[in-house]
A and B are shown apart, each in its own frame.
Chain A
Amino acid sequence: MAKPEYRIIGKSTPFIDARDKATGTTVYTSDITLPNMLYGKVVRSTVAHGRILSIDTSAAERLPGVKAVITAKDTVAILLRYVFVYCLAKYELCNPHGETVLAGYRRLGAWAPIYMIIAIVIVLQLIGTFLIKGAVENLTFLIPALANIPAIILGLITSFCVIYLALKPLKVLETVFKIFLAIMTVIFVYGMIAAKPDLGAIAAGAVIPRIPEGGLVIAVSLIGTVGCAPANLIYSYLIREKGWQGKEDLRQVKFDLGFPMIFMFILILSVWVVAAAYLKPNGIEVNSSEDIAKGFAALIGPIGAVLFHVGLFVAIFTTLNGLCMGYARMVSDIVKQFKPLKPITVMGQTRDWVFFAVVAWGCVVPLVWLFTSAGFVQLTVMFLTANVFVMPLISIGALIMVNKKAWIGEGNTANWWQNAGLGISVLLGIFFSVQGLINLL
């Protein structure tokens, strides 16, 4: 029998980049040089299977040219939020009464949920204004012709779209939005690499979010948008919608929560870097999102500004959507603990009047602010401050809830890392409240 002839089998093929490697033209990571690049060095334990008792970085920090020494300590903020939200989800899934987290808060006393409603109402108004203002700004940049239309009309259209899509989700649009968000993440991260990062300031910002001097308001507010305290509560509502019911689903929560947290961390970090390291030293005052867009344009060309605006618009849109729905659900849940509410159906969604009222409060009422001259900066400061007052209550409440056997159920009480995380959250919450007060005065 004659041997069959194959095109590929039995033939020797040099692999695709062998020539580049043999001539030294392949670019390895260590061959990449970028402007103002910093060099990092990983320091590993000198003892196999050793236990880290303490790390003294002071001598390294004193060396000339050393910008930052980063240890596990510098990852605290994001870890805390993870522990915090995880504990709330645990309460939601594990408590033997089948009650929601907010019902759990009510066990602290009837005043607790009421206090929370007030806080949510303030926060939502501010965040709504903030986001709609941002959305309109972005729209006018993307379609210059829109600048002739009054901002209030554009705001109205945006609000309408947010509400409409919240009630009638469109799968296609969701996918498109996800793609835009991905694009924004890519340019943010690229911007982060291309800018010259001052790691020390960024590390400090990641651990203790605060309102820095100068024009970093936008960066801070983005952090606030994703990290504000009452928003952390929304997650335990979302898990119901995912169909997770009991203790056995807690494992999934760990991953479901962990991934976006990592993603957010990267995104926040890159905004910080671009704002802190690139815009300010180059004399760009950050007063509106337009200024950050300029930064991106300077970094990656005119397309940078467009991508930034599209990404920001999508981010704002989805955040407003998510926050309105989440808060609306929370408030309606709280109110229901005091008195039953009659269901109403709007556009196929059956909820109660409180729910729709909160959505309107977050999406429509803020339009009034568009008439006023309240600046971005004032709004942001007010928003962050309002957040800060709720934080101690939420964290102290959570700490109590996950430790009372009668509340969360036998065998479900918090373990050491959950308690440690919540304990630190309580301390930070109090610390921020004091700082917020000082900022207000």
Chain B
Amino acid sequence: MHHIKFVVNGMERELLVNAQELLSDMLRDRLGLKGTKVACGAGECGACTVLLDEKPVNACLVLAVQADGKSILTIEGMADGPELHPIQKAFIEQGAIQCGFCTPGLIMTTKAMLEENPEPTEEEVRDGLIGHICRCTGYQKIVSAVVSAGQEIQAQRREN
């Protein structure tokens, strides 16, 4: 057993975890953060993506102990109270969600991508989301949502 300390969605947490425990299992089963989805469990689909110190990782390929001393952001930490994050809004408005199973992972990766490249082109978005599989939408609407989310965030920044 390992005693680890970390911040998840802005809250400090301490847990005793097994050496082989996965970050995805810790989030879902120990902390009840079921918004993080596990589809393939093998790092192929990106559904379980969370931000570990602001970098997107597949939570099913990261050990819980690796989160020690780090900050985790999951889909549950995206909205500010009732106010949705602009990326979430864009996904809803652009019809980028169908069954929704890949959505949390996509939104997390999008967040990291837009931090690095605030206004990506369509091609850059497709490249940035390469680690994600969506079986419903055909990706076009997801790409549009990410592009428009980037523009919206930039517009807000200019206003402030």
A residues with a Cβ closer than 8 A to B are: 12, 14-15, 17-28, 30-31, 33
Contact = CB atoms under 8 A, between A and B. Distances in A.
Nearest to A19: B92
Contacts of A24: 33-36, 74-76, 103-104
Contacts of A25: 35
B68 to A, nearest CB: 24
| Dominant SS among interface residues on chain A | loop
Which 4 interchain pairs have the tightest Cβ spacing? A24-B35, A21-B100, A24-B75, A31-B34
B111 to A, nearest CB: 12
Given A23-B76, A23-B78, A14 B104 contact: no
A12 B144 CA distance: 15
Interface centre among B28, B29, B97 (most CB of A within 10 A): B97
27 contacts: A12-B93, A12-B95, A14-B93, A14-B95, A15-B95, A15-B97, A17-B100, A18-B91, A18-B100, A19-B84, A19-B92, A21-B97, A21-B99, A21-B103, A22-B97, A23-B35, A23-B75, A24-B33, A24-B34, A24-B75, A24-B76, A24-B103, A24-B104, A28-B37, A30-B37, A31-B28, A31-B34
Contacts of A28: 37, 101
A27 B34 contact: yes
B117 to A, nearest CB: 22
Contacts of B74: 24
Interface string B130-144: 000000000000000
Given A22-B88, A24-B74, 8 more contacts: A14-B93, A14-B95, A15-B95, A23-B75, A23-B84, A23-B88, A24-B36, A31-B34
A20 B34 CA distance: 12
Contacts of B92: 14, 18-19, 22
A108 to B, nearest CB: 59
Nearest to A18: B92
Contacts of A15: 95, 97
A27 B37 CA distance: 10
Contacts of A22: 84, 88, 91-92, 97, 100, 103, 107
Contacts of A19: 84, 92
Interface string B78-112: 11000010001001110101011101100100000
Nearest to B79: A23
B47 to A, nearest CB: 11
Contacts of A23: 35, 75-76, 78-79, 84, 88
Contacts of B36: 24
B52 interface: no
B51 interface: no
Contact of B38 (A14, A17, A20, A30): A30
A30 B99 CA distance: 14
Nearest to B32: A33
Nearest to A31: B34
Contact of A18 (B38, B97, B107): B97
B76 to A, nearest CB: 6
Nearest to A23: B79
Contacts of B88: 22-23
B102 to A, nearest CB: 10
